[in-house]
């Protein structure tokens, strides 16, 4: 099959979009990055920026769909992609896309995982649905301020387990989905290489920083306020805690899809923290 030449990346300045743009540009594709802030993006010089996905579709071959970035324009973007002759859709979803919405905290931040997958499948185009687990960067967002202020981090369920994934690994798999036909018509669950409890995740951060950090399990009302204080809706805290409650004293799902697809091990949480330690130390 003729290779894809031009790819539209929505959410191009996000945690997955930015490394995906870089990977595709290195591979020699024409990348059209959709971003609300086209100035000072730091993209490679060959990358063109667009203020909307609709403006970037004509003459393109594929679209990376980030439902949170597209917001209310998600359905219209897929429809326009079909009308524009787009060949392939790669959708960013989540590992729990089939769960009840009450256990999908990403919905409270605009993610529409189930919807973006269904739109891709129903489009009649080539499709790949990526279902990553919790992003490593989420822990920086939740814990960094507390770590900067002291050695105790409070949060829900110290023994709850996740298998967080490096955003760069998600981007690398997305690039493979766009550069080859190997992953067509698959829903792919992507996780980090190991399941770790909240206490173990924090210990990994402490090991990189050279500090002995302690995880303090906090009650639900305290956690709801904590999330509000750092800018999340209180409902996000409820959904996040409902999700974690299912993994208390039970290892989270770990898949080997990243390693199989990329022919290399998935990045560990500790390796990611080492590469991004400034997220935990710089104000």
Sequential pLDDT tens for the chain (283 residues) = 568 999 999 999 999 999 999 999 999 999 999 998 766 578 999 999 999 999 999 999 999 999 999 999 999 999 999 999 999 999 999 999 998 887 888 887 788 999 999 999 999 999 999 999 999 999 999 899 999 999 999 999 999 999 999 999 999 999 999 999 999 999 999 999 999 999 999 999 999 999 999 999 998 888 888 888 878 888 888 888 888 888 998 899 999 999 999 999 999 999 999 999 999 998 6
Task: Assess contact for 116 and 74: CB atoms under 8 A.
Answer: yes
145 class by beta-carbon count within 10 Å (0-12 exposed, 13-18 middle, 19+ buried): middle
The Cα–Cα gap between 280 and 283 comes to 8
Q: Which residues pair with 127 in a beta bridge?
A: 89
- Which residues are CB-neighbours of 80 under 8 A, at least 6 positions away? 53, 54, 57
Long-range contacts of 247-253 (CB under 8 A, 24+ apart): 247/157, 247/160, 247/161, 247/162, 248/157, 248/159, 248/160, 248/161, 249/159, 250/161, 251/161, 251/195, 252/133, 252/161, 252/162, 252/163, 252/191, 252/195, 253/95, 253/133, 253/163, 253/189, 253/191, 253/195
* pLDDT per position as a tens digit, 222-265: 888 888 887 888 888 888 888 888 899 889 999 999 999 999 99
The Cα–Cα gap between 120 and 62 comes to 12
Residue 40 pLDDT: 57
For the chain, domains (ranges, CATH) are: 6-135+166-192+253-268 (3.40.50.720)
Q: What is the CA angle 184-76-99, rounded to 5? A: 60
Residue 108 pLDDT: 76
Residue 110 pLDDT: 81
66 class by beta-carbon count within 10 Å (0-12 exposed, 13-18 middle, 19+ buried): buried
What is this structure's pTM?
0.94
Task: Assess contact for 25 and 49: CB atoms under 8 A.
Answer: no
The Cα–Cα gap between 211 and 200 comes to 14
Q: Which residues of 74-102 are buried (b: 16+ CB within 10 A; e: fewer)?
A: beebbebbbeeebebbbbbbbbbbebeee
Residue 227 pLDDT: 81
Q: Which residue, among 13, 33, 35, has the nearest Cα to 25 in the 3D structure?
A: 33
Orientation of helix 234-245 relative to helix 220-229, angle to 10°: 130
């Amino acid at each position: 099959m003729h290779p894809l030449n031009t790819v539209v990346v929505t959410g191009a300045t996000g945690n997955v979009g930015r490394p995906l743009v870089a990977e595709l540009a290195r591979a020699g594709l024409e990348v059209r990055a959709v971003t609300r802030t086209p100035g000072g993006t730091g993209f490679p010089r060959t990358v063109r920026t667009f203020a909307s996905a609709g403006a970037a579709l004509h003459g393109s071959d594929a679209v990376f769909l980030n439902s949170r970035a597209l917001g209310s324009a998600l359905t219209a973007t897929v429809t326009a992609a079909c009308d524009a002759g787009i060949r392939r859709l790669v959708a960013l979803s989540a590992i729990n896309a089939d769960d009840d919405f009450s256990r999908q905290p990403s919905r409270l931040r605009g993610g529409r995982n189930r919807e973006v997958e269904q739109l891709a499948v129903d489009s009649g185009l080539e499709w790949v649905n990526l279902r990553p687990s919790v992003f490593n960067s989420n822990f920086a967002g939740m814990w960094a301020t507390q770590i900067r202020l002291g050695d105790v981090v409070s949060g829900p369920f110290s023994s709850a387990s996740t298998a967080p994934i490096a955003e760069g690994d998600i981007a690398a798999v997305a690039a493979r989905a766009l550069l080859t036909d190997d992953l067509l018509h698959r829903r792919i669950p992507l996780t980090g290489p190991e399941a770790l409890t909240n206490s173990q995740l924090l210990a990994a951060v402490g090991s990189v920083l050279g500090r002995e950090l302690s995880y303090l399990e906090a009650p639900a009302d305290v956690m709801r306020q904590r999330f509000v204080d750092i800018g999340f809706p209180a409902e996000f805290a409820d959904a996040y805690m409902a999700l974690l409650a299912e993994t208390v004293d039970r290892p989270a799902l770990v898949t080997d899809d990243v390693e199989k697809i990329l022919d290399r091990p998935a990045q560990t949480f500790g390796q990611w923290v080492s590469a991004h330690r400034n997220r935990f130390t710089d104000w």
